[in-house]
């Protein structure tokens, strides 16, 4: 499981650019290097599993989480591309795209207030997210979105215009 990463919240121009660079290096560059090394070792064996942790934020631009969403869009896109490249290799590659899940991520990304801003039904549990990801990679699925609510939201985000999606996300998250 390729799960290293962190996020930043707030308006991008107000966030320390060095922190943004670290976020991009970890969420994009480190993930790519780790995935490259893992896949290179798995291909000669003809079997292997890569589970990259992305986010439902990867499916739409998120005001207040712009850089985080962009890095997760990279993770999802990279995973989809490599999954197709390796389709007949025996190596399975999956992007796990959870929604809100209570972990240490909230304190690191300065989004601890989300725990009280959103109702309990929008939060997924760590065990459910992990099960969803492990089942998906074992089944050879390229994308795994835990929870019915988030499956619907991801589906919805692919059919509405991107401008409308950005505005809806801004309203829901009350950012800017």
- Location of structure tokens 């290097």: 33
Question: Distance between CA 28 and CA 5 in Å, rounded?
Answer: 9
**Spatial CA neighbour of 86 closest among 23, 121, 41, 125:** 41
- 90/76 Cα distance (integer angstroms): 20
The answer to whether 67 and 78 have CB atoms below 8 angstroms apart is no
Q: Which two tokens stand for residue 35?
A: 């995935």
Residue reference for tokens 């798995």: 42
68 is catalytic: yes
- Token duo for residue 109: 């990304």
User: Which residue is catalytic, options 49, 68, 74, 150?
Assistant: 68
- DSSP-assigned states of every residue in 86-126: TTTTTEEEEEE---SB-STHHHHTT-TTHHHHS-GGGPBPH
Q: What is the CA radius of gyration of the chain?
A: 16
Annotated catalytic sites, by residue? 68
């Amino acid at each position: 499981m390729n799960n290293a990463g962190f996020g930043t919240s707030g308006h991008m121009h107000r966030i320390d650019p060095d922190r943004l660079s670290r976020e991009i290096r970890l969420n994009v560059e480190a993930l790519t290097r780790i995935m490259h090394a893992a896949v290179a070792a798995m291909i000669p064996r003809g079997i292997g599993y890569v589970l990259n942790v992305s986010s439902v934020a990867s499916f739409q631009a998120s005001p207040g989480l712009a850089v985080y969403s962009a890095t997760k869009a990279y993770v999802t896109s990279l995973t989809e591309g490599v999954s197709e490249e390796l389709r007949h290799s025996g190596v399975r590659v999956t992007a796990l795209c959870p929604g809100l899940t209570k972990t240490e991520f909230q304190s690191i990304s300065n989004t601890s207030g989300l725990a009280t801003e959103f109702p309990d039904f929008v939060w997924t549990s760590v065990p459910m997210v992990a099960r969803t990801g492990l089942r998906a990679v074992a089944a050879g699925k390229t994308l795994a979105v835990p929870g019915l609510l988030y499956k619907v939201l991801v589906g919805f985000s692919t059919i509405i215009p991107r401008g409308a999606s950005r505005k809806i996300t801004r309203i829901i998250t009350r950012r800017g």
